């Protein structure tokens, strides 16, 4: 599947600028060809049947101004690439500039082909009415794209879930959004499945968007259950799990908790409800063991990797103390 400009894997802005300069040069050459054609027709250097004379003059002049608009658009895009430091803002601005230039060029060519602006407006109105009935779904998707740009429920690089689709956003087009799926039908963890998912933007207007990469707090809660026998030293189990998890996560864990407390200061959530994490809770399993669950904050895209490391280190630490930690017997698991 061909994926268009993807700022999540964006090249250096200089490379993008070089391509834009090539396009700019091509537009200038095309504009010169159009204005030369208009002059040749006007000066009757080119012999054309009289019934096509006026139409070709208008068309060549309209194309000249339309291509001029596209050249100016490319120049603006070059400035956006050079001045914009955020690849997400740059992506949206480039898309918007390209769209506006195409619309302006289409209106300009239509106005030149008709005798006056009134006729052009009527024609555009009739065309829009017909297309409105025929293309309701694409139009809804385009409105969805505008909503995404304005409300920003997700952006390139975010990990989201929308309806039944889960993945990392790699492209937001005018009509649809493309995700690099994680989990999916063949995985039970949150690793990329290798599949691309493309859905219409209209879906965002009627579905709940779950964003795992909220820009103000780019972490999610994760938890791991460990099963031990009733005879175990539960206080030691709790302390060991908490210590190992803390070492694995590093000092950034405390910083994340402080960041979360800052976010909820102005909300109805009681700051005291945010415990010091990692937090280990105990509960009786429906079988014949105690379940010690550790809860911690983790970047969503690293959840599987960090969870694996914690499990290995915690089990190794608990196995070193067979007199204090006992596990459920094999026939009770």
278 and 169 in one domain? no
pLDDT surpassing 90 at residue 236:
yes
Q: Give the pLDDT of residue 240.
A: 94
Which tokens in the block code for residue 137? 């779904």
pLDDT surpassing 70 at residue 9:
no
Query: Does 173 map to a domain?
Result: yes
Least confident span in 75-89, 230-244, 284-298: 75-89
Pick the last residue of a domain from 175, 192, 211.
Answer: 211
Domain around 123: 7-134
Task: Judge residue 318's burial from the number of C-beta atoms within 10 Å of its C-beta, 0-12 exposed, 13-18 middle, 19 or more buried.
Answer: buried
Using the Cα atoms of residue 142, residue 144, residue 146 and residue 152 in order, give the sign of their dihedral: negative
pLDDT surpassing 70 at residue 67:
yes
Work out the mean pLDDT of the chain and round it to a whole number: 77
What is the domain-level CATH number for residue 314?
3.30.70.100
What is the domain-level CATH number for residue 207?
2.30.30.60
170 and 256 in one domain? no
Residues 282, 27: Cα–Cα separation, whole Å: 69
pLDDT surpassing 90 at residue 83:
no
Residues 33, 41: Cα–Cα separation, whole Å: 12
Contact partners, residue 242, CB within 8 Å, separation at least 6? 278, 279, 280, 294
Q: Which of these, 184, 182, 186, lies nearest to 169 by C-alpha position?
A: 182
Q: Give the pLDDT of residue 293.
A: 93
Q: Give the pLDDT of residue 142.
A: 84
Residue 284 in contact with residue 290, Cβ under 8 Å?
yes
238 and 155 in one domain? no
Using the Cα atoms of residue 129, residue 130, residue 136 and residue 139 in order, give the sign of their dihedral: negative
Q: Give the pLDDT of residue 164.
A: 84
Residue 3 in contact with residue 171, Cβ under 8 Å?
yes
Residue 288 in contact with residue 220, Cβ under 8 Å?
no
Q: Give the pLDDT of residue 138.
A: 77
Q: What is the largest CA-CA distance in the chain?
A: 104
Task: Judge residue 193's burial from the number of C-beta atoms within 10 Å of its C-beta, 0-12 exposed, 13-18 middle, 19 or more buried.
Answer: middle
Task: For the chain, give the percent of residues with pLDDT over 70.
Answer: 74
Overall average pLDDT of the 77-85 stretch: 72
Least confident span in 139-148, 229-238, 270-279: 270-279
257 and 156 in one domain? no
Q: What is the pLDDT of residues 122-175, one digit of tens each?
A: 555 655 665 555 556 777 888 888 898 888 889 888 889 988 888 999 888 888
Residue 179 in contact with residue 169, Cβ under 8 Å?
yes
Query: Does 108 map to a domain?
Result: yes
43 and 99 in one domain? yes
169 and 81 in one domain? no
Give me the number of domains the chain comprises: 3
101 and 12 in one domain? yes
Query: Does 260 map to a domain?
Result: yes
Overall average pLDDT of the 88-108 stretch: 74
pLDDT surpassing 90 at residue 239:
yes
DSSP state string for 160-192: EEETTEEEEEEEE-SSEEEEEEES-SS-SSSSE
114 and 158 in one domain? no
115 and 21 in one domain? yes
Q: Give the pLDDT of residue 245.
A: 92
């Amino acid at each position: 599947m061909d994926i268009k400009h993807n700022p999540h894997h964006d090249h250096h802005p200089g490379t993008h600028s070089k391509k834009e300069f090539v396009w700019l040069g091509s537009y200038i050459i095309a504009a010169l060809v159009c204005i030369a054609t208009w002059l040749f027709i006007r000066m009757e250097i080119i012999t054309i049947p009289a019934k096509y004379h006026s139409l070709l003059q208008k068309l060549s002049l309209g194309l000249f101004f339309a291509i001029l608009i596209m050249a100016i658009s490319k120049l603006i895009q070059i400035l956006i690439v050079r001045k914009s430091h955020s690849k997400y803002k740059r992506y949206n601005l480039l898309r918007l500039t390209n769209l506006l230039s195409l619309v302006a060029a289409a209106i300009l060519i239509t106005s030149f082909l008709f005798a006056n602006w009134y006729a052009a407006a009527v024609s555009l109105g009739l065309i829009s009415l017909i297309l409105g009935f025929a293309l309701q779904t694409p139009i809804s998707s385009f409105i969805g794209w505008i909503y995404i740009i304005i409300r920003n429920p997700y952006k390139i690089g975010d990990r989201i879930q929308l309806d039944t689709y889960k993945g990392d956003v790699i492209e937001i087009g005018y009509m649809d959004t493309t995700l690099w799926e994680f989990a999916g039908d063949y995985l039970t963890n949150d690793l990329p499945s290798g599949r691309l998912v493309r859905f219409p933007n209209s879906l965002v207007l009627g579905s709940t968007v779950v964003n795992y990469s909220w820009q103000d707090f780019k972490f999610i809660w994760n938890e791991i259950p460990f099963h031990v026998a009733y005879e175990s030293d539960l206080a030691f189990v709790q302390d060991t799990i908490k210590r190992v998890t803390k070492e694995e996560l590093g000092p950034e864990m405390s910083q994340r908790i402080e960041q979360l407390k800052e976010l909820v200061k102005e909300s109805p959530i009681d700051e005291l409800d945010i415990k010091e994490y990692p937090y280990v809770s105990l509960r009786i399993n429906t079988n014949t063991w105690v379940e010690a669950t550790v809860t911690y904050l983790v970047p969503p895209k690293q959840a599987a990797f960090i969870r694996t490391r914690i499990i290995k280190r915690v089990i190794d630490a608990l196995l070193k103390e067979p007199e204090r930690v006992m596990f459920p017997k094999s026939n009770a698991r």
